[in-house]
């Protein structure tokens, strides 16, 4: 089976956080005018004081080498600080930069959440991992769905990978993946949790120059060496002899049932539980997570499911993994 390769384009546009805070806005204005040094000087004290938008913007500056010497390690430090405060785009960039630097295992939790939010490059990487069975259990339905969404966003690498997937993924799994991709697109904001992750208004992107080309050649995409090749898939793989809970049925293309897995005071706890359950419950990653907040309570649900019986079966597998679960009709 031909192996999919992950290729990240070196020319990544810079999206800056632009909240109402006056000094952060001053730095954004300076950046737009090409005065990168002034922008960094405005953001530095605010970032040190704990402002997540300023921390994210400094991470971008150090990643691109604008106003400061390019330093990926320092960029990672600022991304981590902002991500720890719930800054979603900082978390997206943290995962992408970790992956590019070779820490694929460390990057995957961030990339999976970024893919859920609709970040095309993260969807492309996670889709490749799920297809190859690298760093994640092989799941061709979700791999096809994520690669479809990344391709629909205009990511050329994803379109090429989707063509390769068409040669190996059976038609019934491609159809399920296409249906799952439609479900992702139908979520509020395009994907689950499409917001910025902070309480300030959604920022507008800044138009800046792309990353300077590497010495090896101008305007060339940066190839990221993939992990060792996965074995060729077998039609009927031998079952794994473990005490894992039984896998729920394959995801349906439509339905008005979901399962509620829990209610939390913080969204981060809901996301952590979802990541843990996806690793424990076979087949759960084929379903869509729904994370909603109302009245200060964040609820985690999964679906869609076609019937109460299917919801009960999925809840049984989730409960066997040690979590509460309740079928709900929407």
Mark out the alpha helices in 153-252 (DSSP H runs).
156-168, 171-186
DSSP for 11-58, written as a single string: ---------S-HHHHHHHHHHHTT-HHHHHHHHHHHHHTT-HHHHHHH
- Judged by DSSP in three states, 206 sits in coil
| pLDDT band, very low/low/confident/very high, at 74 (cuts 50, 70, 90) | very high
How far is it, in rounded angstroms, from Cα 173 to Cα 250? 10
Domain limit, last residue, from 168, 186, 204:
186
Global confidence as pTM: 0.54
Residue 142 lies in a domain: yes
Regarding whether 109 and 11 lie in a shared domain, the answer is: yes
Regarding whether 276 and 177 lie in a shared domain, the answer is: no
Regarding whether 318 and 172 lie in a shared domain, the answer is: no
Which tops the pLDDT comparison, 57 or 203? Answer: 57
Pairing mode of beta strands 257-264, 222-223 = unpaired
Q: Is the confidence at residue 239, as pLDDT, over 70?
A: no
| pLDDT band, very low/low/confident/very high, at 43 (cuts 50, 70, 90) | very high
Q: What is the pLDDT of residues 310-322, one digit of tens each?
A: 878 888 888 887 8
Residue 230 lies in a domain: no
What mean pLDDT is predicted for residues 13-38? 74
Which tops the pLDDT comparison, 155 or 285? Answer: 155
Burial 66-104 (b: 16+ CB within 10 A, else e): bbbeeeeebbbebbbbbbeebbbbbbbbbbbbbbbeeeb
Q: Which of 20-29, 156-165, 224-233 has the lowest mean pLDDT?
A: 224-233
Residue 242 lies in a domain: no
Q: What CATH number should be reported for the domain holding residue 325?
A: 3.30.70.1070
How far is it, in rounded angstroms, from Cα 54 to Cα 46? 6
How far is it, in rounded angstroms, from Cα 184 to Cα 290? 10
Number of compact structural domains in the chain: 2
Residues 6 or more apart whose CB falls under 8 angstroms from that of 93 comprise: 56, 59, 60, 63, 75, 79
- Judged by DSSP in three states, 59 sits in helix
Torsion of CA 124, 129, 130, 131, to 10 degrees: 90
User: What is the reported pLDDT for 129?
Assistant: 92
Regarding whether 270 and 180 lie in a shared domain, the answer is: no
Regarding whether 137 and 43 lie in a shared domain, the answer is: yes
Which tops the pLDDT comparison, 73 or 327? Answer: 73
What mean pLDDT is predicted for residues 246-260? 58
Residues spanned by the domain of 283? 257-329
Average pLDDT, the chain: 75
Residue 123 lies in a domain: yes
Regarding whether 261 and 181 lie in a shared domain, the answer is: no
Q: What is the pLDDT of residues 168-197, one digit of tens each?
A: 999 999 999 999 999 888 775 444 433 322
Domain limit, last residue, from 154, 186, 218:
186
Percent of the chain with pLDDT over 70: 72
How far is it, in rounded angstroms, from Cα 255 to Cα 301? 14
Q: What CATH number should be reported for the domain holding residue 182?
A: 1.25.40.10
Residue 33 lies in a domain: yes
Ranges of beta strands (E only) in the chain are: 7-8, 222-223, 257-264, 288-294, 297-305, 326-329
Regarding whether 179 and 297 lie in a shared domain, the answer is: no
Of 69, 72, 74, 79, give the one whose Cα is nearest residue 15. 79
Residue 251 lies in a domain: no
Residue 199 lies in a domain: no
Residue 191 lies in a domain: no
Q: What is the pLDDT of residues 86-142, one digit of tens each?
A: 999 999 999 999 999 999 999 999 999 999 999 999 999 999 999 998 888 899 999
Regarding whether 274 and 149 lie in a shared domain, the answer is: no
Regarding whether 147 and 33 lie in a shared domain, the answer is: yes
Domain limit, last residue, from 166, 186, 206:
186
Regarding whether 163 and 18 lie in a shared domain, the answer is: yes
User: What is the reported pLDDT for 293?
Assistant: 79
Regarding whether 166 and 276 lie in a shared domain, the answer is: no
Regarding whether 25 and 138 lie in a shared domain, the answer is: yes
């Amino acid at each position: 089976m031909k192996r999919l390769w992950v290729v990240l384009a070196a020319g990544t546009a810079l999206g800056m956080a632009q909240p109402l805070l006056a000094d952060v806005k001053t730095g954004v204005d300076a950046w737009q005018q090409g005065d990168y040094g002034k922008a960094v000087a405005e953001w530095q004290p605010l970032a040190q004081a704990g402002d997540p938008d300023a921390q994210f913007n400094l991470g971008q500056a150090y990643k691109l080498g604008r106003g400061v010497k390019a330093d990926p390690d320092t960029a990672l430090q600022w991304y981590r600080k902002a991500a720890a405060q719930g800054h979603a785009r900082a978390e997206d960039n943290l995962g992408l930069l970790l992956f590019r630097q070779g820490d694929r295992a460390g990057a995957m939790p961030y990339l999976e959440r970024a893919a859920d939010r609709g970040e095309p490059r993260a969807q492309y990487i996670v889709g490749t991992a799920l297809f190859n069975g690298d760093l994640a259990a092989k799941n061709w339905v979700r791999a096809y769905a994520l690669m479809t969404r990344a391709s629909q966003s205009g990511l050329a690498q994803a379109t090429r990978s989707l063509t390769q997937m068409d040669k190996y993924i059976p038609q019934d799994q491609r159809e399920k993946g296409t249906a799952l991709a439609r479900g992702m697109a139908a979520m509020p904001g395009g994907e689950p949790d499409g917001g910025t992750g902070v309480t300030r208004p959604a920022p507008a992107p800044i138009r800046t120059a792309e990353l300077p080309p590497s010495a090896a050649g101008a305007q060339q995409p940066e190839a990221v060496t993939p992990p060792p090749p996965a074995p060729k898939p077998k039609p009927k793989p031998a079952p794994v002899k473990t005490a894992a809970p039984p896998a729920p049925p394959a995801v349906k293309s439509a339905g008005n049932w979901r399962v509620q897995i829990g209610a939390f005071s913080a969204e981060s706890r809901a996301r952590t539980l979802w990541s843990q359950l996806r690793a424990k419950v076979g087949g759960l990653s084929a379903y869509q997570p729904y994370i909603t907040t109302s009245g200060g309570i964040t609820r985690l649900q999964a679906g869609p499911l076609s019937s109460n019986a299917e919801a009960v079966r999925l809840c049984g597998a989730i409960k066997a993994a040690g979590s509460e679960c309740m079928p709900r009709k929407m």
